[in-house]
C-alpha cells in the first residue's frame, strides 16, 4: 500500500488538521473564527468575572419545547455561561423548564419575570407557548432577574433575536458586576431647586436603586448648597439634577463646579422653557416663557448652550389622545400627532441609546455644542429630524396646532435638526480657575480627572405620569398604550456615567445576520431533503467500494 505524502491534501488532513481538532476537543480549547469575534469575551468582562469571590449561580429559564429561534438564544446563553465558568469556577449555571417543574406564573412574575406568548402551529392548529426568557443571578443571599430578550418595538422577530444576542454579554456581566460588588456606588438627587416631586420621580428612583444606592441631597441650611454640604457631596459618585426651576446662586455654582473637578459625575435634565401639558389641556392654549436658572455661563464652560426655544418635530413625534367627538353621550377619542412631543430615535451606534425604544420628550428645547472644548469629547445622543421647526418664546402654543402639524405659526421658521441630549467625556476645566470665587473654596482644583457628564434639554424626560395619586412606570403612556424608552435611556445614562470597567462598550457589539433565504428554502425544500438523504449513502458506498478495490489490489 502506498504511503500518503505529508504535503498532500489528504496528508495535511490526516497529520495536521485531524490531530489539532482532537487536541482542541479533548482540552476544551475553542477557536473563535468569526469576523466580529462573537465568541470571545472582552478583557473587561474577564476582569469582572475574576473579581467574583463567592459562589454565584445563574438560573436560566430557557428550557423546554419552543421555537428554533429561542433554541439559538438558549445555545448562545449556554455557551457564554460555559465561558464564564472557565474564567471563574465559582460561577455556575443551570437551565430550568418552568412548565415541567410546575412553577406557577404568579411565582415567576413575583421574581420580576414577564411571560412571552409565542404562536405555535402544528397540523393546522394554532396554539400558544408561554415562555419566561429570563436569567436569575444569585449571589450571597441576593438575586436579580435579567431579561434575555431585548424589548424594542418596531423590529421583527429575527432582528429582536439578533439584538438580544448582541446584548447578551453586557446584560449578564453588568448584572454580575452589580450583584457581586462589595460596595454599591451612590447617586445623589439634588432637592433644593423646585425639582420634580417624589411621586413624579418615583420611576427614576426605582431604576436607580436597582443597581445603586440613591437618595436625596438636601442643603444643610435648607436654602442653598454651601461648604457645609461638601462631606455629603463627596460621598456621591454621581449627582442628578432633574428639572430645576429655581435659579442657582453663584455660590452653589462654585460648589457644583468643584464637585465635578473632584471627579463627580452629573446628569442634568433641564427645562429652558416653562410649558406644562396639564395647563394646555385645561385651557386649550398656553403661553410658554423662558426659565432662567442662572446656569448659562456654567454650561458654556463645557461647550454647551441650552436655547430657550421650543422644538417642533413634524416627522418624529408622539401621539396625543384627545376627545374629538361624542356618540350617544360617550366621548370618542382619537390619537393625533403632537409635534411638541418629539421622539428620540437612536440613529447612531452609541452604547447609551442603542437597542432601546424611542424616547419621549415633552416640550424640549435644543442644545448647541459650540464647536466643543479642548480635551472634551462631545457625543450627540438624540436629535430631531430634518423636518424641524423652532417656536420662539414667549409665544402661544395652541391645541389647534395638532390639526395642521406642518403649518408655520407666527415667529416660526424652518430649521436644521436640533440636539436634545449630549454626553461629555474628558478632563474638564474649572469655570472659576481665574475668578475670585476660587478663594472661597478650600483645596480648589482647576482641572478634573477623566470625567463624564450628560446634559438633556428636557426636564420631563425623567418624569413618570401619576394616575389617581399613584405613579405609573416611567415611559408608560396609558392613553395611547405605548411604552417609550425613557426608563432604559436613563438607566443606560447612569451606567455610562458610573461605568469604571468600560463595560458599556459591549452594547456597541454588532453581530452580522447570516440568515438563510426563506423563499429559496420553500422552493427547494424537497430537493434538499433528498440530497441530505442520499448524500451520506453515496459517500458510504464510494468509501466501501474504494476499500474493496484497495483490498483486492493488495491481495490479488
Which domains does the chain possess?
1-30 (no CATH), 35-180 (3.40.30.10), 186-500 (no CATH)
pLDDT score recorded for residue 37: 65
> Looking at residue 516, what is its pLDDT?
64
Is residue 299 a contact partner of residue 293, using CB atoms and an 8 Å limit?
no
pLDDT range class, residue 518, cuts 50, 70, 90: low
Q: What is the 3-state secondary structure (H, E, C) of 268-306?
A: EECCCEECCHHHHHHHCEECCEECCCCCHHHHHCCCCEE
pLDDT at residue 126, as a whole number: 63
By percentage, how much of the chain surpasses pLDDT 90? 45
Cis peptide bond upstream of 394, omega within 30: yes
Beta bridge partners of 412: 391
pLDDT band for 123, please (50, 70, 90 cuts). low
The answer to whether 46 touches 87, Cβ cutoff 8 Å, is: yes
Question: Bigger pLDDT: 168 or 116?
Answer: 168
Q: How far apart are CA 369 and CA 266, in angstroms?
A: 17
**Range of lowest pLDDT (82-91, 136-145, 517-526):** 517-526
Contacts of residue 141, defined as CB under 8 A and 6 or more positions apart, other chains included, come to none
Distance CA 132, CA 375 (A): 46
Q: 343-390 pLDDT, tens per residue?
A: 999 877 889 998 899 999 999 999 999 877 888 999 999 999 988 988
Query: What is the average pLDDT across 454-478?
Result: 91
pLDDT at 32 over 80: no
156 pLDDT exceeds 80? no
- The pLDDT value given to residue 11: 57
DSSP 503: G
372: Cβ contacts below 8 Å, ≥ 6 apart: 303, 378
pLDDT at residue 491 in the model: 95
Average pLDDT in the 442-461 region? 94
pLDDT for 361: 96
Question: What pLDDT score does 120 carry?
Answer: 60
State yes or no: pLDDT of 236 exceeds 90: yes
Joined together, the cell numbers standing for residue 118 give: 409565542
pLDDT tens string 393-441 = 898 888 888 766 655 555 566 778 999 999 999 999 999 988 888 888 8
Average pLDDT over residues 213-225: 93
Query: Residues 42-75: pLDDT tens digits?
Result: 889 999 999 999 999 999 998 877 777 788 888 9
Q: pLDDT tens digits for 501-510?
A: 788 888 877 7
Least confident window among 274-278, 305-309, 424-428? 274-278
Q: Which residues pair with 121 in a beta bridge?
A: 126
Provide the CA 86 distance to its chain's centre, in angstroms: 28
Q: How confident is the model at residue 166 (pLDDT cuts 50, 70, 90)?
A: confident
Which residues, listed in sequence order, are joined to residue 456 by a DSSP beta bridge? 269, 421
Q: pLDDT > 70: what percent of the chain?
A: 86
Q: Using 50, 70 and 90 to split pLDDT, how confident is the model at 228? A: very high
- pLDDT tens for 170-193 read 999 999 999 998 889 999 999 989
Among candidate residues 133, 131, 167, 499, the one with its CA nearest the CA of residue 356: 167
What mean pLDDT do residues 450-459 have?
96
pLDDT at residue number 127: 63
Mean pLDDT of the chain: 85
Crossing angle of helices 168-180 and 43-50, in 10° steps, is: 30
pTM: 0.84
Smallest CA-to-CA distance from 257 within 275, 274, 239, 243 is with 239
Amino acid at each position: 500500500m502506498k504511503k500518503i505524502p505529508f504535503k498532500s491534501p489528504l496528508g495535511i488532513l490526516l497529520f495536521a488538521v485531524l490531530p489539532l481538532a482532537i487536541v482542541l476537543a479533548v482540552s476544551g480549547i475553542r477557536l473563535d473564527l468569526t469576523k466580529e469575534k462573537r465568541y470571545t469575551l472582552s478583557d473587561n468582562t474577564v476582569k469582572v468575572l475574576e473579581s467574583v469571590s463567592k459562589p454565584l449561580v445563574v438560573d436560566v429559564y430557557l428550557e423546554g419545547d419552543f421555537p428554533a429561534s429561542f433554541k439559538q438564544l438558549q445555545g448562545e446563553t449556554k455557551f457564554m455561561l460555559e465561558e464564564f465558568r472557565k474564567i471563574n469556577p465559582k460561577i455556575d449555571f443551570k437551565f430550568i423548564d418552568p412548565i415541567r417543574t410546575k412553577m406557577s406564573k404568579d411565582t415567576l412574575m413575583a421574581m420580576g419575570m414577564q411571560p412571552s406568548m409565542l404562536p405555535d402551529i402544528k397540523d393546522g392548529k394554532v396554539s400558544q407557548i408561554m415562555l419566561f426568557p429570563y436569567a436569575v443571578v444569585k449571589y450571597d443571599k441576593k438575586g436579580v432577574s435579567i431579561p434575555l430578550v431585548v424589548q424594542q418595538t418596531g423590529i421583527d422577530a429575527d432582528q429582536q433575536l439578533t439584538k438580544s444576542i448582541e446584548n447578551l454579554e453586557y446584560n449578564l456581566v453588568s448584572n454580575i458586576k452589580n450583584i457581586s460588588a462589595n460596595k454599591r456606588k451612590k447617586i445623589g438627587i439634588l432637592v433644593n431647586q423646585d425639582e420634580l416631586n417624589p411621586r413624579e420621580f418615583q420611576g427614576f428612583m426605582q431604576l436607580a436603586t436597582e443597581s445603586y444606592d440613591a437618595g436625596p441631597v438636601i442643603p444643610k441650611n435648607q436654602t442653598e448648597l454651601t461648604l457645609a454640604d461638601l462631606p455629603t457631596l463627596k460621598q456621591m459618585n454621581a449627582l442628578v439634577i432633574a428639572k430645576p426651576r429655581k435659579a442657582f446662586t453663584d455660590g452653589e455654582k462654585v460648589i457644583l463646579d468643584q464637585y465635578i473637578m473632584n471627579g463627580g459625575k452629573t446628569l442634568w435634565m433641564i427645562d429652558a422653557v416653562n410649558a406644562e401639558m396639564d395647563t394646555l389641556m385645561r385651557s386649550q392654549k398656553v403661553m410658554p416663557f423662558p426659565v432662567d436658572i442662572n446656569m448659562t455661563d456654567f454650561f458654556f464652560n463645557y461647550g454647551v448652550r441650552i436655547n430657550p426655544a421650543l422644538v417642533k418635530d413634524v416627522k418624529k413625534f408622539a401621539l396625543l389622545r384627545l376627545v374629538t367627538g361624542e356618540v350617544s353621550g360617550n366621548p370618542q377619542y382619537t390619537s393625533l400627532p403632537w409635534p411638541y412631543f418629539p421622539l428620540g430615535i437612536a440613529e447612531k451606534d452609541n452604547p447609551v441609546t442603542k437597542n432601546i425604544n424611542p424616547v419621549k420628550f415633552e416640550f424640549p428645547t435644543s442644545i448647541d455644542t459650540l464647536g466643543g472644548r479642548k480635551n472634551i469629547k462631545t457625543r450627540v445622543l438624540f436629535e430631531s429630524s430634518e423636518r424641524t421647526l423652532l417656536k420662539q418664546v414667549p409665544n402661544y402654543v395652541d391645541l389647534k396646532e395638532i390639526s395642521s402639524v406642518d403649518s408655520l405659526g407666527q415667529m416660526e421658521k424652518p430649521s436644521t435638526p436640533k440636539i436634545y441630549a449630549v454626553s461629555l467625556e474628558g478632563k474638564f476645566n474649572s469655570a472659576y480657575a481665574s475668578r475670585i470665587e476660587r478663594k472661597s473654596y478650600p483645596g480648589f482644583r482647576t482641572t478634573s480627572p477623566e470625567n463624564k457628564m450628560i446634559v438633556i434639554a428636557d426636564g420631563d424626560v425623567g418624569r413618570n405620569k401619576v394616575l389617581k395619586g399613584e405613579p405609573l412606570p416611567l415611559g408608560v403612556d396609558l392613553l395611547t398604550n405605548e411604552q417609550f424608552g425613557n426608563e432604559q435611556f436613563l438607566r443606560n445614562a447612569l451606567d455610562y456615567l458610573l461605568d469604571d470597567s468600560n463595560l458599556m462598550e459591549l452594547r456597541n457589539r454588532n453581530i452580522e445576520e447570516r440568515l438563510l433565504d426563506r423563499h429559496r428554502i420553500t422552493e427547494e425544500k424537497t430537493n434538499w431533503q433528498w440530497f441530505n438523504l442520499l448524500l451520506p449513502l453515496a459517500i458510504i458506498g464510494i468509501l466501501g467500494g474504494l476499500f474493496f478495490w484497495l483490498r483486492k489490489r493488495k491481495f490479488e
